[in-house]
């Protein structure tokens, strides 16, 4: 109740949301782009995969410490930590999607005179998306967790800062409430954005379902 009545609560949530969603967007864009490049190029895969493995192997707390040294107690710490901690998941999804594509379908499309862009949009793209959306869902959930942890340790405001204040006061109901808000925000990112985006981009899946059945 105190959180709902506090006039600062919306700004606290907005602060964390901006950092989490910025880090998620950067991780999704760069991770997907690097994964696609690695999937289409063996040389790129040999170059990028060890780097991404190292990024994945270092725990988020390690990146937070480095980010604190580089950016200090600012929002950049949370954004950079989310980017580095979440990028490998999007990279792996894009890489697997491209690597496991049906090359015979691409050969058939090429035989019918389809351009490379048309092949990517109608043949390769839908297949890769089936790997990307689970990866992006994991990335989004990780983004919220890492953001709150980075804010708590860097004392840079947001939900993490509110949790640090509640911890100092031993206010368990306040801690529980902020954790519940974080979970709700993660669910909204998944079902309120990613799920709707998937429905819009994968309308072809509904073609094989009986009339009136919704996935």
Question: pLDDT of 180-207, one tens digit each?
Answer: 999 999 999 998 888 888 888 777 666 5
67-76, 147-156, 173-182: which range is least confident on average?
A: 67-76
pLDDT confidence tier of residue 214, bands split at 50, 70 and 90: low
At 186 the pLDDT is 92
- Please report, rounded to a whole number, the percentage of residues in the chain having pLDDT higher than 70: 93
At 183 the pLDDT is 92
At 208 the pLDDT is 58
What is the C-alpha to C-alpha distance for residues 31 and 36, in angstroms, rounded to an integer? 9
When comparing pLDDT for 77 and 206, which is higher?
77
Give me the domain span that covers residue 32: 2-204
DSSP state, 191?
I
Instruction: Say yes or no to pLDDT of 24 above 90.
Output: yes
Looking at the structure of the chain, the number of domains it has is 1
When comparing pLDDT for 147 and 211, which is higher?
147
At 207 the pLDDT is 59
Which H/E stretch holds residue 64?
helix 60-71
What is the C-alpha to C-alpha distance for residues 77 and 68, in angstroms, rounded to an integer? 6
At 104 the pLDDT is 80
- Mean pLDDT to the nearest integer, 132-152: 89
Whether residue 134 lies inside any domain: the answer is: yes
Instruction: Say yes or no to pLDDT of 132 above 70.
Output: yes
CA 148 to chain centre: 15
Whether residue 211 lies inside any domain: the answer is: no
DSSP state, 209?
S
Whether residue 214 lies inside any domain: the answer is: no
At 20 the pLDDT is 93
From residue 156, alpha-carbon distances to 118, 152, 164, 177, 209 in Å are 46, 7, 10, 19, 49
Whether residue 128 lies inside any domain: the answer is: yes
Full 3-state SS string of 90-156: HHHHHHHHHHCCCHHHHHHHHHCCCCHHHHHHHHHHHHHHHHHHHHHHHHHHHHHHHHHHHHHHHCC
Instruction: Say yes or no to pLDDT of 124 above 60.
Output: yes
Whether residue 155 lies inside any domain: the answer is: yes
Whichever domain contains 194, its CATH number is 1.10.3720.10
| Closest alpha carbon to 145 in 179, 170, 175, 194 | 179
Average pLDDT across the chain, whole number: 83
What are the b/e assignments for 129-158, b being 16+ CB within 10 Å? bebbbebbbbbbbbbbbbbbbbbbbbebbb
CA count, 13 A, side-chain hemisphere, 137: 15
- Mean pLDDT to the nearest integer, 22-44: 89
- Mean pLDDT to the nearest integer, 77-90: 88
Q: Read off φ and ψ for residue 31, nearest 5 degrees.
A: -65, -45
């Amino acid at each position: 109740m105190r959180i709902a009545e506090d006039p600062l609560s919306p700004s606290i949530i907005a602060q964390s949301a901006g950092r989490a969603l910025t880090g998620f967007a950067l991780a999704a864009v760069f991770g997907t782009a690097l994964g696609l490049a690695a999937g289409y190029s063996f040389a790129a895969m040999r170059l990028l995969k060890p780097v991404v493995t190292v990024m994945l192997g270092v725990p988020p707390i390690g990146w937070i410490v480095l980010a604190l040294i580089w950016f200090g107690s600012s929002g950049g710490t949370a954004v950079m930590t989310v980017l580095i901690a979440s990028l490998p998941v999007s990279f792996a999804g894009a890489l697997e999607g491209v690597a496991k594509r049906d090359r015979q379908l691409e050969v058939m499309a090429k035989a019918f005179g389809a351009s490379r862009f048309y092949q990517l949009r109608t043949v390769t793209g839908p297949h890769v998306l089936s790997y990307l959306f689970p990866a992006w869902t994991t990335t989004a959930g990780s983004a919220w967790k890492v953001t709150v942890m980075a804010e708590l340790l860097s004392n840079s405001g947001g939900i993490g800062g509110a949790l640090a204040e509640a911890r100092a006061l031993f206010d368990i109901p306040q801690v529980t409430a902020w954790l519940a808000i974080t979970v709700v925000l993660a669910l909204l990112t998944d079902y309120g954005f990613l799920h709707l985006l998937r429905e819009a981009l994968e309308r072809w899946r509904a073609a094989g379902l009986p009339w009136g059945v919704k996935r």
